[in-house]
Amino acid sequence: MKKVLVTGGTGFIGSHTVTELVDAGYEVVIADNLSNSRTGALDGIQKITGVQPAFEKIDLCDKVAFADMLRRHCGIDAIIHFAAHKAVGESVRQPLKYYRNNLDSLINILELMPEHAIEHLIFSSSCTVYGQPEKLPVTEQSPIQPATSPYGNTKQVSEAIIRDTVAASTNIQSIALRYFNPIGAHASALIGELPTGVPNNLVPFITQTAIGIREQLSVFGNDYNTPDGSCIRDYIHVVDLAKAHVVAVGRLLDRKNKAAFEVFNLGTGHGVSVLELVHAFEKTTGVKLNYKIVARRPGDTEQVWADTAYANKELGWKAQSTLEETLLSAWKWEKYYKESGGWE
């Protein structure tokens, strides 16, 4: 049984990936400092898979504690590194929090990997590295644009750090997965997205408005150069995204990668506007949303969606879920979470 360390494994994408890894026959160790997640995810994972993965509450910036953890869980074959701060606005207000956390943790991982004979790393990157692309859909060869936030910059710098480290090392092999907009939840509704405080992202804000936690959804701008004036994104079901990680880990472990550092776009290939998403939610759930158009949100990209041809061909992976299925899963999770009284 191959052993995978999942950092940030109690978080949104992390917890869904853990269930897919367990289902695929991997032994999983989760490392998470619970700064933006709860241990309730572990119960959800256990109920879904019948397996309780080892869990370590640890801050990966603490290199001594991290090394100690790797000694206790020897024989790790690969690391999937999700653990990072990800709120764009907060990163503008507190840039050092983002640079310190997102970069220190990655550097610690890269320094400790050779010492513990770990050769394979999957890194959570983001479509934010493309900024506003000149040509759509965006391919992996599209130029990287200057980051519009410290958060975005940590993703760009992290990719550069991995690329340089891999180039200088004979052993480390890595894949960076550039996520578009992950939404939705596991079909069981036992795990899902759990933002702390007021959600920054669109779909949690929609489901919280629909259930009555938020009074009104603000749609940030209807004067963009798009068919209905609102921003366009590529919304991908988190379970589809999670499955891509299982494929990527297998690719590295089976030594099927074509370069020591590879990059893949993970999206659906379809652009959906904010207003289209709002109306799709209303239609599929039958719940009317109280929303109003407000000013643009500073730093937003007008439109971006993925060219997924390279990931489809090379990974043999394709996002399967429809937007309706994905939105329904997010809504089911919101209702389940509320009905179950919430996680501890």
Q: Could you list the active site residues?
A: 151
Token digits for 140?
């992996």
Q: Which of 113, 176, 185, 202 binds ligand UD1 (CB under 6 A)?
A: 202
Say whether residue 85 binds ligand UD1 (CB under 6 A).
Answer: no
**Can you name the residues that pair with 237 across neighbouring β-strands?**
183
Near ligand UD1 by CB under 6 A, which window of 157-165, 217-225, 312-320, 332-340? 217-225
Say whether residue 113 binds ligand UD1 (CB under 6 A).
Answer: no
Say whether residue 88 binds ligand UD1 (CB under 6 A).
Answer: yes
Of 142, 178, 146, 175, nearest to 262 by C-alpha is: 175
Say whether residue 276 binds ligand UD1 (CB under 6 A).
Answer: no
**H or E element that contains 56:** strand 54-57
Say whether residue 201 binds ligand UD1 (CB under 6 A).
Answer: yes
Inter-axis angle of helices 274-285 and 323-339, to 10 degrees? Answer: 60
Minimum CB distance to ligand UD1 smaller for 84 or for 118: 84
HSE-up of residue 316 (Cα within 13 Å, Cβ side)? 6
Residues in the interface with ligand UD1 (CB under 6 A) total 21
Say whether residue 128 binds ligand UD1 (CB under 6 A).
Answer: yes
Say whether residue 330 binds ligand UD1 (CB under 6 A).
Answer: no
Near ligand UD1 by CB under 6 A, which window of 11-19, 62-70, 194-202, 327-335? 194-202
Say whether residue 236 binds ligand UD1 (CB under 6 A).
Answer: no
Say whether residue 205 binds ligand UD1 (CB under 6 A).
Answer: yes
Min CB(56)–ligand UD1 separation in Å: 25
Near ligand UD1 by CB under 6 A, which window of 71-79, 216-224, 309-317, 330-338? 216-224
Q: Torsion angle, CA of 305/310/315/321, rounded to 10 degrees?
A: 30
Inter-axis angle of helices 104-115 and 150-168, to 10 degrees? Answer: 20
The one-letter amino acid at 241: L
Say whether residue 86 binds ligand UD1 (CB under 6 A).
Answer: yes
**Can you name the residues that pair with 106 across neighbouring β-strands?**
none
Check: CB of residue 77 under 8 Å from CB of residue 70: no
Q: Torsion angle, CA of 105/90/218/202, rounded to 10 degrees?
A: 0
Token digits for 46?
């256990």
Q: Which of 200, 222, 257, 284 binds ligand UD1 (CB under 6 A)?
A: 200
Q: How many CB atoms lie within 10 A of CB 170?
A: 8
Q: Which residues bind ligand UD1 (CB under 6 A)?
A: 86, 88, 126, 128, 149, 152, 181, 200-202, 205, 217-220, 231, 233, 274, 297, 300-301
